[in-house]
Structure 1
Amino acid sequence: MSYFSDQNYQNLNPNNFIPAEYESCDFTQCDFSGLDLRGFSFENCSFHNCDLSNTKVPGVSFRGVRFDNCKMLGIHFQACNPFLIEFTFKNCQLDYCGFYNLQLKKTVFSSCRMLEADFTMANLTSSSFVGSDLSGAVFEQSVLEKVDFRDAQNYRIDPELNRIKGARFDLDGLPGLLGKYGIKIG
């Protein structure tokens, strides 16, 4: 397998993007939408202003990977290699992404749009969703202990179906926690 380290890629032609191990590489304004990334490995890499929508990620390794201002619609992250998985997302569109049953402790989703993202059975202990839009996101049998939901919007979390001990919420977020009870707040 090929190995690339400390490379900067800008406007990379997807035809020149070969399955390899990429370590400490930066990808800027690259369009990878719809690509099959099977056989790729990313460690301590950064993606800036890239489109990765509908990429296929079976077996792909993401270790210490940062995504800034990326469009990442419909990615099934539950198919990637779960070993040492570690992401940071900032100002990304993660609509319709799946994180089913992943160990995502301390993952940062900062100011992201995550419409109908699926976090069913995910362990998100000590993660952060600060400033994110979670409209239609699914949290069921998820571990949300010590998760920071301050300034997050439009979430619906059933405290009876999820572990939320120590999670942080704004007062504005109470309807997202108590909505199923038909309680009027304010």
Structure 2
Amino acid sequence: MAIKRERAHGDPGKDPVVRDEDWYGRDLSGQKFARYTFYDTDWTECVDDGGVFDECTFSGVKFNASRHTSAAFTNCTFKRCTFFDTRFEQCKAVGSLFQQCTFNLFEVTGGDWSFVGLPGADLRKAVFDGVRMREADLTAARLDGATVTGVDLSGAMLRGANFSRADLRGSDLSALHPLTSEIAGAKIDLEQAAVIAAALGFEVS
């Protein structure tokens, strides 16, 4: 099925726009999109193995029950998108920004999500396992009850983030300060406990 494209304001110099399309169950594997804008497009149950999306904007897109493997969403912007039962495995989302999105049964396994922006995101009970999230912006994000295991959060912005009852075992918590983030009831290992104690000014020996 051919992709419908339109040019914003009819200007041939503008980037392609996909609007109000039903892509339900579409296989996007291996396809490449650069500087596209997707408005109110239904990506429910899409399959994406190795797709590349660079500097794209997704507004009001439904990613429900979609599966993304070894795909790249670099420097993209997601606005008011829904991620229900969505899975990302070994994907790259470096430099991407998520704004006013909803996440339910959201899972990220492996891959590189460094410099990603998720400020204020409601990621309760989400799963991040073995993900590289260096210098990610999780300011005021809700991760209470989430699984954040084996995640590289070095240099991340975590002020105001809520990790209550989260499983943080194996993650790099060097950027986490227990006085500026909620961590009550979180699961950590002994090495992480030493890092947190040091952040509080204790001398660990």
Q: Normalising by structure 1, what TM-score? A: 0.88
Q: Are 1:81 and 2:101 an aligned pair?
A: yes
Provide the residue aligned with 2:133 in structure 1. 114
Corresponding residue for 1:142? 161
Consecutive unaligned residues in structure 2, runs of 5 or more: 1-19
| Amino acid in structure 1 at the alignment position of 2:84 | R
Question: Is the Cα–Cα contact under 8 Å of residues 38 and 59 in structure 1 kept in the other structure?
Answer: yes
SS of alignment partner, residue 52 of structure 1: strand
Deviation of the 1:151 alpha carbon: 1.1
* Residues 175 and 156 of structure 1, relative CA distance in 2, 3 Å threshold: farther
- The Cα shift of 1:159 comes to 1.8
Whole-Å Cα distance in 2 between the matches of residues 163 and 59 of structure 1?
26
Q: Which among 49, 56, 62 is matched to residue 28 of structure 1?
A: 49
Matched residue, 2:74: 53
**CA offsets per residue over residues 116-156 of structure 1, 9 Å max, x none?**
11111111111111111111112212211111111112433
The answer as to 2:204 corresponding to 1:177 is no
Partner of 1:2: 21
Larger Rg: 2
Supply the AA of the counterpart residue of 1:81: C
Cα RMSD of the aligned pairs, angstroms, is 2.0
Instruction: Go from structure 1 to structure 2 and tell me whether the alpha carbon gap of 1:18 and 1:3 turns closer, same or farther (over 3 Å shift).
Output: farther
How far apart in 2 are the matches of 1:180 and 1:18?
Answer: 43
Q: Compare 28-37 and 53-62 and name the one that shifted more.
A: 53-62
Identical columns (%): 22
2:183 pairs, out of 159, 164, 176, with 164
- Count of residue correspondences: 183
